[in-house]
Amino acid sequence: MPFVFPTDVLYDMPMTPQNFRFQFPRISYFLAGLALAASPMLVSAQTTGPATSAPAAVVAPALVGAAGGISMVGELATVPAPNLTARAWLTLDVNSGQIIAAQNPDEKIEPASLTKLMSAYLVFEAIDNKRLSLDQVVNISEKAWKTEGSRMFVKPNSQVTVDDLLRGVIVQSGNDATVALAEAVAGSEPAFAALMNEEAARQGLRDTHFVNSTGLPDPTHLTTVRDLAILSKNLVAKHPQYLHYYSQKEFTYNKIKQNNRNRLLWSDPTVDGLKTGHTQSAGYCLVATALRDGRRVVSVIVGASSDSARTENSLKLLNWSFQNFDTIKLFDNTQPAVTARVWEGQAETVGLGGAETTWVTVPRGKGALVKPLAQYTQPLIAPLRKGAKVGTVSLSLDGKLLREEALYVLDDVQEAGFFGRIYDKIRLLFE
């Protein structure tokens, strides 16, 4: 920006020896401000948006237990989790995204037909992106028809709609229907498995690797109950319009009626999904989800000894999660979590908040005890752009970190004029 020397600084009084003593302080202040304006450290903050200095805690003492990462809220409950007869399990609140409790959450396990959660997710994505439609017909290949394991009983070289094939995958757990849809989306099942792994990486499923679309056993076809819970949360949150498939109790195709293997659909009216799985090596598995009073919970059970055991364990876990925990709305995404001081801007403050509404799950009755602790870049130097990430807000209870959310600038702040910026630069020297 070209600099215009302000004549009122030097020329509003004649420059004579008699009055120079009056002009000298004004000249000194001006030259000091000019030097500050030329400072590379401060000017770069003006031209790149939010300042790049290290984040500083504005409310936050160190969190007890934070060094160990985010705590499972179940650790703070007075009622312990039920004793479950399963190799690994986990329960997660979908509204907050928090894991309530888990056993062996990161142990590598075979997903069996729980694999079909990812297969269906990719089909839903293809439908939403107009690459497939529900009434589109798919040709059943010899490979799909010959796939071993549970079946929809489609005939080779027949034409079946995507809608019917989804019911075959989700209600009947048909491996033949799953391969047919995989081929419709990606051309071949190996290509579809590559898409499954790409999506797993995008969702942050760090311990998951898919070899096929069906869940048939393979030494490298593995996941964890943590990853399955994250995938399930993403599925119900992003594709709620397809949840009706998961609550369908039976489906008849080719004059063969098969029941949904999720027995909770008959015993609990709040349960509306999601998927069963079973192989001899994986044991009996079930990802279940229920919606009660606007709150959704997902439970994951793997390695149970029988169909009845996985059903009983899942119901115990769902009931414990609903009965002993609350999920409360802490911040609305239109309201600031914190109001921050802005320097060198046309506004002196700006609101910082989350991109979405912030929910937190706590032991029942403890919602009022949650402490939000904000950390954000200081100083905040204008110009600031709406949506710029500048820090985090941590939510703790009893000294335990429950969750951490990003803080974003909620409104644009334009930079102030030249002298306004100089004034704030000088003030910052004394902060």
Entry pTM = 0.81
The first and second tokens of residue 352, run together, are 């910082």
**What was the pLDDT predicted at 320?**
98
Q: How far apart are CA 407 and CA 336, in angstroms?
A: 9
Helix pair angle (40-47, 418-428), 10° resolution: 130
| 267 annotated active-site | no
- What is the DSSP code (8-state) at residue 74? G
**Alpha helices per DSSP H over 203-342:** 225-238, 243-247, 264-267, 307-323
Q: Name the active-site residue from 96, 116, 150, 299.
A: 116
Question: String of b and e for 241-275 (b: at least 16 CB within 10 Å)?
Answer: ebbebbbbeebebeeeebebbbbbbeebeebbbbb
Helix pair angle (20-37, 40-47), 10° resolution: 60
Specify whether the CB–CB gap between 249 and 266 falls below 8 A.
yes
Can you list the domains of the chain with their CATH numbers? 40-71+329-428 (2.60.410.10), 81-323 (3.40.710.10)
Nearest to 370 by CA among 392, 325, 400: 400
Q: Name the active-site residue from 71, 113, 232, 396.
A: 113
> 273 pairs with which residues across the strands?
289
Residue 9 has pLDDT above 70, yes or no: no
Nearest to 121 by CA among 227, 5, 15, 260: 227
Q: Residues 242-289: pLDDT tens digits?
A: 999 999 999 999 999 999 999 999 999 999 999 999 999 999 999 999
Q: Name the active-site residue from 119, 141, 150, 173.
A: 173
Q: How far apart are CA 223 and CA 392, in angstroms?
A: 30
Residue 421: helix, strand or coil by DSSP?
helix
| 173 annotated active-site | yes
Q: Residues 283-341: pLDDT tens digits?
A: 999 999 999 999 999 999 999 999 999 999 999 999 999 999 999 998 887 788 888 88
**What was the pLDDT predicted at 93?**
97
- What is the DSSP code (8-state) at residue 415? B
**What was the pLDDT predicted at 429?**
84
| 113 annotated active-site | yes
Largest CA distance in the chain: 111
**Cis peptide, bond prior to residue 274, ω within 30 of zero:** yes
Q: How far apart are CA 282 and CA 91, in angstroms?
A: 19
Q: How far apart are CA 142 and CA 137, in angstroms?
A: 16
Residue 87 has pLDDT above 70, yes or no: yes
**How far lies 260's CA from each of 35, 174, 245, in Å?**
75, 11, 10
